[in-house]
């Protein structure tokens, strides 16, 4: 199996996430884009682990991917809680409206 | 081009298409559902690369909980639907930035790993992963559990609605005790103190 395929897929997903991060205005959609960028990195880690170093004793690549999954889930929960709080206080989830601390 | 490559190509096309639809969809709910398809497709690529445990974790954590969490978030925030409401003015800037990044990264990847091929795809078994977690990765694992606990408590604290903290105060309700409908003029005379007999007359039943 060729190594370039997974790496290119991960790059594509990451760049799609960057596009969504910049283009979207809804805070929940921005969070979705961030999730997509986080997940795409996992493909890289698994590809390097299973295609290049399949016999490594400490399963580093998959372990890092597991940790990233857990941290991303925690980030999604806290992020959605912040967005809900924002919606309650401002009646809007538009990221352009949140300029209280802008200078 | 082996069978592995063909299967991977199909899964990658599905995943990439769903990802594109996620960031360009005009409907919020469709975007969240396409995100679920993207995450399931990534689980499929894990399966092709023989990372079974990770594929299952991906399905459970992402498709099962995070996508549902986003759906709940979208429903609770009642966001408007439509491209103009969802996308900002800087769509062109976003296209330029992400396109440039993709071109640079993919040329670098192809020039570095262009001819690299794995002879056989082999992953560690689930038993290996379990032993490795509790042999080599114990401290990060415990730290991760503390992080999850902190995130759980923090999310609950942030999202909880406290009384009197936000929103309007409760409207004051007045209970009329008399039978006969109170006319508008009678209601205006109430502060004058003349309507007290009516209340007692209505209340003795």
Does residue A81 belong to any structural domain of this protein?
yes
CATH number, position A91: 1.10.287.3510
| Residue range A39-94, pLDDT digits in tens | 999 999 999 988 888 777 788 889 999 999 999 999 999 999 999 888 888 878 88
Cross-chain residue pair B66–A65, CB shorter than 8 Å: no
| Residue range B52-111, pLDDT digits in tens | 999 999 999 999 999 999 998 888 887 666 655 667 678 889 999 999 999 999 999 999
Does residue A103 belong to any structural domain of this protein?
no
Burial of B144 (0-12, 13-18, 19+ CB in 10 A): middle
| Residue range B20-34, pLDDT digits in tens | 999 988 888 899 999
Count other Cβ atoms within 10 Å, centred on residue A86. 19
| Residue range B145-186, pLDDT digits in tens | 999 999 999 999 988 876 545 455 555 555 656 666 555 554
- Measure B12 CA to nearest chain A CA, in Å: 6
Going from N- to C-terminal start, the domains of chain B cover 3-89, 125-156
| Residue range B34-59, pLDDT digits in tens | 999 999 999 999 999 888 999 999 99
Domain count, chain A: 1
Does residue A102 belong to any structural domain of this protein?
no
Average pLDDT rounded to a whole number, residues A6-17:
95
Cross-chain residue pair A1–B53, CB shorter than 8 Å: no
- How much is the pLDDT for B180? 62
B123 alpha carbon, distance to own chain's centre: 31
Cross-chain residue pair B69–A62, CB shorter than 8 Å: no
- How much is the pLDDT for B36? 94
B82 vs A5: which has the higher pLDDT: A5
- Measure B101 CA to nearest chain A CA, in Å: 7
Q: Which of B32, B28, B31, B35 is nearest to B78 (CA)?
A: B28
- CATH code of B3-89, in short, is 1.20.120.1200
Instruction: Please say whether the beta carbons of B199 and B180 come within 8 A.
Output: no
Does residue A30 belong to any structural domain of this protein?
yes
The vertex-B35 CA angle with B94 and A99, nearest 5°, equals 45
Of A46, A73, A80, which has the smallest distance from its Cβ to B61's Cβ? A73
Q: How confident is the model at residue A13 (pLDDT cuts 50, 70, 90)?
A: very high
Q: Which of B42, B94, B66, B110 is nearest to A3 (CA)?
A: B110
- How much is the pLDDT for A97? 80
Of B51, B90, B156, which has the smallest distance from its Cβ to A23's Cβ? B90
Average pLDDT rounded to a whole number, residues A3-11:
93
- How much is the pLDDT for B203? 43
- What is the token pair recorded at B149? 């606990």
Does residue A50 belong to any structural domain of this protein?
yes
Residue A28, pLDDT > 60, answer: yes
- Measure B174 CA to nearest chain A CA, in Å: 28
B191 vs A44: which has the higher pLDDT: A44
Domain that holds residue A89: 4-97
């Amino acid at each position: 199996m060729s190594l370039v395929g997974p790496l290119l897929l991960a790059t594509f997903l990451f760049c799609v996430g960057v596009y969504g991060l910049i283009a979207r205005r809804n805070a929940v959609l921005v969070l979705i884009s961030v999730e997509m960028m986080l997940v795409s990195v996992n493909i890289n880690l698994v590809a390097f682990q299973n295609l290049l170093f399949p016999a490594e004793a400490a399963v580093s690549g998959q372990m890092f991917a597991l940790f990233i999954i857990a941290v991303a889930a925690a980030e999604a929960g806290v992020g959605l809680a912040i967005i809900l709080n924002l919606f309650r206080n401002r009646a809007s989830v538009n990221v352009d409206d949140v300029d209280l601390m802008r200078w | 081009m082996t069978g592995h490559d063909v299967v991977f190509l199909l899964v990658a096309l599905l995943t990439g298409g769903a990802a594109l639809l996620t960031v360009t969809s005009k409907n919020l709910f469709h975007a969240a559902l396409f995100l679920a398809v993207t995450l399931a497709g990534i689980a499929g690529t894990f399966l092709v690369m023989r990372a079974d445990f990770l594929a299952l974790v991906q399905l459970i954590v992402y498709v099962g909980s995070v996508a549902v969490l986003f759906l709940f978030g979208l429903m609770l925030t009642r966001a408007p639907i439509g491209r103009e409401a969802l996308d900002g003015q800087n769509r062109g800037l976003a296209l330029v930035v992400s396109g440039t990044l993709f071109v640079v990264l993919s040329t670098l990847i192809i020039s570095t790993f262009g001819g690299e091929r794995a002879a056989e795809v082999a992953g560690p078994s689930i038993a290996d992963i379990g032993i490795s977690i509790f042999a080599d990765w114990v401290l990060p694992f415990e730290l991760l559990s503390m992080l999850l606990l902190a995130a759980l408590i923090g999310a609950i604290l942030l999202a909880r609605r406290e009384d009197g903290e936000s929103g309007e105060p409760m409207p004051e309700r007045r209970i009329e005790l008399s039978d006969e409908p109170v006319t508008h003029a009678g209601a205006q005379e109430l502060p004058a103190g003349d309507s007290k007999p009516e209340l007692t007359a209505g209340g003795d039943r």
